[in-house]
């Protein structure tokens, strides 16, 4: 199998970065569990020395995600083609932050995954002295105000979690490079997946995933993947991945590889179900407001149409009522399971204020609009009629 540049994403999820195992011809990469590799003479080996540094199963996953994100890095330049897999999304995030230095200034989206915000402001601000400035990067003027010549890194999420704001990646890249041509641009692409959005094509340097979510998609692996745009960055991230050592294990890499093969068909159903559900909720009297980029009244709708190839499976909405009625609604759901995480085949419901975003200070939550009546759905791939019936029944419990 060649990595033909012209493969579409729906083909890349299956064939991208993959080839039969050379010894047996096995159509799938075996799970190489060995921690170390035998050398013929000191320093004479087949390119594999120790599994933290090199693992063929992990490489297979890394190459696939790199192919999906359309990096320009080739396998001649980097053995895993510019993709790097980590033990979790946070491990990937932590490693990327090591690309900048003690005391450096960075700008980040204000509405971030709670754990990312926690790492920035409760860990790295202390241990690395990072000078982190949060701003609403879905408004280009806000970003232009905080982007300075000494800003070393910009961290974007789009769509954001849980407000579903859309940031203009190409515009951010242009404003950022005008401020500092050497700034590192990172996009957490977890919500969109590389099928819907490819930040490297918009001028970003790094795209990052919690592969725990859509990439693996089956709620049975925690992991993270980073893809970089060029060979120079690949060399730096490869060094850090090995030096820090928060790598993904071979079993998890295999599971994630298996999950990704259905990413395209899963996303089709996620999108369809979420679009139907957003319309259903929008027209329901017990619902105050729905945030979904596929709705024409969403402030980022036109931008999302241009920048993304699908609106995704995440829907946020506000119940007409208080914490007590929201709890009543959550308790009445049967199919939507109350759980953290997102992006898997089963539908999940989350109460951001108490669950995923509890680590965000209450004042910041209020500023961002994360209220007690906010509910976030990760719409799964079940039959959409069943999902709508479940929501309808639970909303009826509010009367
Ligand atoms: C879950 C998530 C993370 C963190 O990933 P883990 O795999 O849980 O460590 C980072 N960013 C986003 C957008 C996420 O949803």
Express the helix, strand and coil content of the chain in percent, nearest 5 each.
40, 15, 45
**Rounded distance between C-alpha atoms, residue 176 and residue 144, angstroms:** 8
- Could you tell me the distance, in angstroms and rounded to a whole number, from the CA of residue 113 to the centre of ligand 1? 7
Nearest to 89 by CA among 58, 113, 62: 113
Q: What atom of ligand 1 comes closest to residue 342's alpha carbon? A: 15
- Could you tell me the distance, in angstroms and rounded to a whole number, from the CA of residue 119 to the centre of ligand 1? 12
**Rounded distance between C-alpha atoms, residue 317 and residue 47, angstroms:** 51
- Domain's final residue, options 211, 240, 260: 260
pTM as predicted: 0.96
Q: Is residue 3 part of a domain?
A: no
Cβ of 213 less than 6 Å from ligand 1: yes
CATH number of the domain at 48, please. Answer: 3.40.640.10
Q: Which of 119, 210, 219, 249 to mutate to test the pocket of ligand 1 (most atoms within 8 A of CB)?
A: 210
- Number of domains within the chain: 2
- Atom 4 of ligand 1, nearest CA residue: 89
pLDDT in tens, 2-54: 455 789 999 999 999 999 999 999 999 999 999 999 999 999 999 999 999 99
Cβ of 224 less than 6 Å from ligand 1: yes
Residues 255 and 379 in one domain: no
The two structure tokens encoding residue 73? 């890095």
pLDDT band at 361 (very low <50, low <70, confident <90, very high): confident
- pLDDT at position 161 is 87
Contacts of residues 236-241 at CB distance under 8 Å and 24 or more positions apart, as own/partner, are 236/99, 237/84, 237/95, 237/96, 237/99, 237/206, 238/78, 238/84, 240/95, 240/98, 240/99, 241/84, 241/86, 241/95
Q: Indicate whether 1 pLDDT > 50.
A: no
Residues 75 and 170 in one domain: yes
Q: What atom of ligand 1 comes closest to residue 112's alpha carbon? A: 13
The two structure tokens encoding residue 310? 């699908």
Cβ of 190 less than 6 Å from ligand 1: yes
Q: What atom of ligand 1 comes closest to residue 343's alpha carbon? A: 15
Residues 21 and 52 in one domain: yes
Q: Is residue 2 part of a domain?
A: no
Residues of the domain holding 325: 263-396
Beta-carbon neighbour count of residue 355 at 10 Å?
15
Residues 160 and 284 in one domain: no
- pLDDT at position 359 is 82
- Could you tell me the distance, in angstroms and rounded to a whole number, from the CA of residue 209 to the centre of ligand 1? 7
Q: Is residue 1 part of a domain?
A: no
- Report strand pairing: 314-319 vs 184-188: unpaired
- Could you tell me the distance, in angstroms and rounded to a whole number, from the CA of residue 227 to the centre of ligand 1? 15
Instruction: Tell me the mean pLDDT in the region 153-181.
Output: 97
Per the CB < 8 A criterion, the answer to whether 182 and 194 are in contact is no
In order of 182, 284, 324, the CA distances from 188 in angstroms are 19, 32, 33
pLDDT in tens, 255-274: 999 999 999 999 999 999 99
CATH number of the domain at 312, please. Answer: 3.90.1150.10
Catalytic residues: 52, 113, 188, 213
pLDDT band at 372 (very low <50, low <70, confident <90, very high): very high
Residues 254 and 272 in one domain: no
Residues 112 and 150 in one domain: yes
Q: Quick check: helix, strand or coil at residue 105?
A: strand
Contacts of 204 (CB under 8 A, 6+ apart): 156, 169, 173, 185, 186, 187, 229
Contacts of 148 (CB under 8 A, 6+ apart): 105, 179, 180
Q: What atom of ligand 1 comes closest to residue 161's alpha carbon? A: 13
Instruction: Tell me the mean pLDDT in the region 49-66.
Output: 97
- Domain's final residue, options 239, 260, 281: 260
Cβ of 210 less than 6 Å from ligand 1: yes
Q: Is residue 328 part of a domain?
A: yes
């Amino acid at each position: 199998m060649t990595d033909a540049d012209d493969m579409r994403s729906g083909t890349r999820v299956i064939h991208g970065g993959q080839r039969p195992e050379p010894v047996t011809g096995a159509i799938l990469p075996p799970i190489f569990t060995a921690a170390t590799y035998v050398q013929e003479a000191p320093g004479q080996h087949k390119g594999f020395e120790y599994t933290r540094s090199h693992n063929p199963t992990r490489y297979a996953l890394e190459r696939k995600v790199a192919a999906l994100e359309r990096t320009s890095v080739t396998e001649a330049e980097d053995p895993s083609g510019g993709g790097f897999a980590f033990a979790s999304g946070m491990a990937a995030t932590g490693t990327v932050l090591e690309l900048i230095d003690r005391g450096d200034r960075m700008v980040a989206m204000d509405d971030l995954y709670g754990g990312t915000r926690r790492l920035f402001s409760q860990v790295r601000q202390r241990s690395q002295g990072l000078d982190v400035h949060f701003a609403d990067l879905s408004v280009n003027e806000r970003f232009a105000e905080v982007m300075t010549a000494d800003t070393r890194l910009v961290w974007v999420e789009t769509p954001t979690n849980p407000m579903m704001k859309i940031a203009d990646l190409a515009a951010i890249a242009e404003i950022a490079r005008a401020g500092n041509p050497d700034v590192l641009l990172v996009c957490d692409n977890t919500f969109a997946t590389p099928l819907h959005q490819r930040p490297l094509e918009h001028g970003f340097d790094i795209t990052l995933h919690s592969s725990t979510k859509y990439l693996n998609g089956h709620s049975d692996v925690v992991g993270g993947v980073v893809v970089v745009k060029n060979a120079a960055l690949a060399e730096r991230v490869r060094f850090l991945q090995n030096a820090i050592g928060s790598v993904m294990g071979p079993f998890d890499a295999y599971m994630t590889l298996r999950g990704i093969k259905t990413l395209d068909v899963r996303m089709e159903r996620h999108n369809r179900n979420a679009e139907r559900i957003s319309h259903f909720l929008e027209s329901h009297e017990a619902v105050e407001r729905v945030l979904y980029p596929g709705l024409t009244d969403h402030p980022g709708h036109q931008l999302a149409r241009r920048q993304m190839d699908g609106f995704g499976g995440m829907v946020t909405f506000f119940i007409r009522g208080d914490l007590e009625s929201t709890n009543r609604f959550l308790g009445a759901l049967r199919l939507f399971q109350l759980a953290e995480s997102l992006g898997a085949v089963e539908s999940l419901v989350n109460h951001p204020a108490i669950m995923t975003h509890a680590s965000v200070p209450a004042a910041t939550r209020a500023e961002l609009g994360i209220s007690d009546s906010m509910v976030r759905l990760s719409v799964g791939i079940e039959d959409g009629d069943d999902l709508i019936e479940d929501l309808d029944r639970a909303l009826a419990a509010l009367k």
